[in-house]
Structure 1
Amino acid sequence: MNMTNKFGTFSLALAAAAAAALTGCSTFQSQPAAPEPAPAVVSSVTEAPPVVTARMAAARQQLSQMVALQDRLYRVAGPLLINNADLCRNQARNLLGFTAKNKYSYSGEFVDAAQAVLNYGDRLEVASVLAGSGAARVGLRKGDVLVAADGKLLPVGANAETEAAAVLGPLVAANRVLNLTVSRGGSNQQLRVPVTRACAFKIDIGNADNINAYSDGQRVMITRGMVNFAQSDDAIAYVLAKDIAHNVLGHAATTKQAYTVGSIIDNLVAVRPDLSMLIGTAGVKPMPQELDGAADNLSLYMVARAGYSVEGARAFWQRLATQYPASVLNGYTANHPAVAYRLGVIDKTVSAIRSKQSSKQPLVP
């Protein structure tokens, strides 16, 4: 399990070990926040509510919009990660199937936004639950406050994410079920959360409007622009599965671009990313057509196994290449220009999947 990336974003998705690859959705770059000062002496004078500045209002609106996109991405990713654990081979791990955050998961004015928009405080709260996971099956809900795990109190405050990883990692690595205590509606509830086997890839939303997606071997990122372009859950699944497949097949290492793409992902998860880093596709080389075709083939099986329709895949990728051809910098086709070759692979793979579905054969590439 990996609870905390180097920006402090907290995920309870993976639970094999605290150092394993993080799976979940994170949006904003976080910096360590200072502890809150001790409460002042209460006076008889009623304090006026804090003034909401234009900057604070903008931060609240941005946070609300990005959390909604993050939630959708996590919901679509759930079946892909869980139903394809065997196809992810040695990159599958045991997971709890939820993410948790507190107000310190955000930085600067976004701490205020997390309190005002999400009602986050010092304690870790469930931010999202992975569809199909053990956590979902036992009824864990968004907004549940994490109290204890196997009787061990979970930490609170600015360092809660890191400290919780140290508590939960060993527990989940050694057990098939975690006894979790949560606070809901003012009272504690006990839940026995089964761990779930799933692909161990972290899923991010990128804070940018370019139409692209990235994978660095451990993570998958879809930009806000790509989500808005894709529109349907099926189309988002095509993009997610394609980059999950690139990770499974080790293409970032094969093309020696893991570091470059990883730097782009690190940048785009920031609150205010440096978009100048994207100019000229930031040094990312076009994906060789053979590697792209291999990822298309595997990804379509993943899509079908997750319950999404493969029928619209060809039309989606063709529409993307037509509207955003390779000449558009920082776009998906610039990094994946072998459109004709890819469409041929997609046609063959969809035909093979249909045949296997009709004859009730296993959906294995």
Structure 2
Amino acid sequence: MRAFLRHALLAATRQDARKGVLLPAALLMAACATPVPPPSDGLPPSEPSRPAPAPSQPAPSVSAEQQALQAMVSLQDRLYRVAAPLLVNNTDLCKKNARNLLGFTAKNRYSYSNEFTGAAQKSLGLDDRLQVMGVLAGGGAARAGVRHGDVLLAVEDKNLPKGETAERDAASILAPMMSGRSSIAMTVLRDGSRVALNVPLTYACAFGIELGNTENVIAYSDGHRVLVTRGMLNAVRTDDELAFVLAKEMAHNALSHATKQRTSATIGGIIDNLTRIRPDMSAMSGMAGLRPMPQDLDAMADKLSLYMLARAGYDIDLAIPFWQRMASQVPATVLNGYTALHPSINYRIAAMEKTIKDIRAKQARKKPLLP
């Protein structure tokens, strides 16, 4: 069972788990439910006026699939939560990648691969209909009152689809509506009643945020998506450190580095592979067909990422110690690790030191945080 859970921990990509289409950047997956302990009667064990409590009922068994799905959702929730401020506060820095979003994710039980559809129904309460899984704090959907658990019925008087292709079909309905307007009228089912909502659109960087099913400490960006592996999530100690990794890869995307290096297709294939339930790790040997990032491009991404982090409220003073620790813990000799793809650590640190000084000076003078 443990081996199964390790392999089944993460959702697949387009082949294995279709992503939430209502927020293309895949922000804010629902967190796992926390079991609630039975209430206490407040009396000591020897209290004579109370009869002995009835034996507690055994907890319902949880399948391996349910455990795997809950673990996956928990990891994704953290990843999307940390990414959210970076995506919504940096539209000036990712202009060509910014667009209107609805500001929430929605899924149904078919959003997961076949072996998880039952677990999605039991653990997450999903059925054939699209249901809101997470709402972007401070976004238009949150202001309009969209809630976790809302079942999507209609948008602009068009009924939303159900079933196995619901996400893809909903995307085809919603995509034409996302430009040329500031809000969208929606109808949801909440507690058995139909609720009409007018949802203001949220303008944000529309980078896909993916979770990689490997213990390798690494992250990738293909121009449109950012992938952070389970190994990297285990290596970072705080949300700020996770934000450093996300911002760096978002900066590579914003600067079109994969296109300039002609690696978009290769990295895209790596991301597709690593988000499968059982990735082909034989394809990940050595450098997986990639060359180390040139130091000038890497430093450019470091500079832009620090501005992104500052605008999103993360502590940029912790960035340099983190990258130094990463270079020590996962040195360039680990070919399928982060430093092997980003080896110019001293050059990068010098660029980061200068950038942090520039950002602090602009903050002191209350100048716009633009590179």
Shorter-chain TM band:
0.7 to 0.9
2:142 to 131, 136, 147: 136
Counterpart of 1:34 in structure 2 is: none
1:216 aligns with 2:218: no
User: Could you list the per-position Cα deviations for residues 175-228 of structure 1 after superposition, in whole angstroms to 9, with x for gaps in the alignment?
Assistant: 210111111222222221111111121111112111111000010011111112
SS of the residue corresponding to residue 198 of structure 1 reads: strand
Structure 1 residues 223 and 276: CA distance shift in structure 2, 3 A: same
1:173 aligned onto 2:179 = yes
Aligned position for 1:334:
340
Worse-matched range after superposition: 5-14 or 179-188:
5-14
Question: Do 1:99 and 1:126's aligned partners in 2 also have CA atoms closer than 8 Å?
Answer: yes
Q: Which residue of 2 aligns with 1:191?
A: 197
Answer yes or no: is 1:85 the counterpart of 2:87: no
Counterpart contact for 2:110–2:117, Cα < 8 Å: yes
Q: Which residue of 2 aligns with 1:237?
A: 243
Partner of residue 11, structure 1: 20
- The DSSP-based 3-state class of the residue aligned with 2:327 is helix
Is the 2:21–2:106 contact (alpha carbons within 8 Å) kept by the matching residues of 1? Answer: yes
Q: Give the Å deviation of 1:5.
A: 5.0
Q: Which amino acid aligns with 1:24?
A: A
| 2:33 paired with 1:24 | no
Superimposed CA distance per residue, residues 284-303 of structure 1 (whole angstroms, 9 cap, x where no aligned partner): 11000000000000000000
User: Quick one: which amino acid aligns to residue 311 of structure 1?
Assistant: D
Letter in structure 2 aligned against 1:138: A
Q: Helix, strand or coil: the match of 2:19?
A: coil
Take 1:357 and 1:26, find their aligned partners in 2: how far apart are those partners? 29
Aligned residue identity for 2:157: G
Match for residue 133 of structure 2 among 127, 145, 161: 127
Alpha-carbon distance in 1 for matches of 2:334, 2:316: 27
Residue 26 to residue 331, structure 1, CA distance change in 2 (3 Å): farther
Partner SS, residue 311 of structure 1: helix
Summarize the alignment of residues 195-210 of structure 1 with structure 2, pairs less than 5 Å apart: 195-210=201-216
**For the Cα contact (< 8 Å) 1:12–1:98, is it kept in 2?**
no
The equivalences for 1:282-361 within 5 A come to: 282-361=288-367
The answer to whether structure 1 residue 102 and structure 2 residue 108 are counterparts is yes
Report if aligned partners of 1:210, 1:225 keep a CA contact under 8 Å in 2.
yes
Q: TM-score, normalised by structure 1?
A: 0.86
Is 1:10–1:100's contact at 8 Å kept on the other side of the alignment? no
Aligned 8 A contact 2:28 2:133 in 1: no
285-294 or 139-148, which moves further after superposition? 139-148
**Cα offsets for 1:259-296 (capped at 9, x unmatched):** 11111100111122222222112111100000000000
SS at 2:316 equivalent? coil
CA deviation after TM superposition for structure 1 residue 7, in Å: 5.5
C-alpha distance in structure 2 between counterparts of 1:78 and 1:352, whole Å: 25
2:285 touches 2:336 (CA, 8 Å); kept in 1? yes
In structure 1, the partner of 2:44 is none
Q: What are the Cα deviations for residues 9-64 of structure 1, in whole angstroms up to 9, with x where unaligned?
A: 232445xxxxxxx421699xxxxxxxxxxxxxxxxxxxxxxx98xxx822221111
* Aligned position for 1:271: 277
- CA distance in 1 between counterparts of 2:281 and 2:265 reads 18
RMSD over aligned CA atoms reads 1.9
Amino acid at match of 1:330: N
* Greater mean alpha carbon deviation, residues 244-253 or residues 125-134: 125-134
Amino acid at match of 2:26: G
Q: Which deviates more, 112-121 or 125-134?
A: 125-134
Q: Give the counterpart letter for 1:144 in structure 2.
A: D
Q: Which moved more, 1:136-145 or 1:177-186?
A: 136-145
TM-score (norm 2): 0.84
The answer to whether the 8 A contact 1:217-1:247 is kept is yes
C-alpha contact (below 8 Å) 2:27/2:136 kept by paired residues: no
- Compute the displacement of 1:311 (Å): 1.0
Query: What do residues 128-156 of structure 1 show as CA deviations (whole Å, max 9, x unaligned)?
Result: 22233211222322221111111211111
| Amino acid corresponding to residue 228 of structure 2 in structure 1 | I
Q: Which residue of structure 2 aligns with residue 262 of structure 1?
A: 268
Residue-by-residue CA offset, 1:73-129 (whole Å, 9 max, x unaligned)? 111111111110011022111111111111111122111111121111100111222
1:159 Cα offset (Å): 1.5
Identity of aligned residues (%): 54
Match of 1:270, SS state, is coil
Q: How many pairs does the alignment contain?
A: 329
Structure 1 residue ranges without an equivalent (≥5): 15-21, 28-50
* Amino acid aligned to 1:206: G
The one-letter code matched in structure 1 to 2:161 is P
Compute the displacement of 1:8 (Å).
5.8
Change in 2 beyond 3 A, CA 1:345/1:283:
same
Q: Which amino acid aligns with 1:281?
A: M
The aligned residue for residue 123 of structure 2 is 117
Structure 2 residue matching 1:24: 3-state secondary structure: coil
Q: Could you list the runs of 5+ residues in structure 2 that have no partner in the other structure?
A: 1-12, 30-59
What corresponds to 1:39 in structure 2? none
- Structure 1 residue 233 displacement after superposition: 1.2
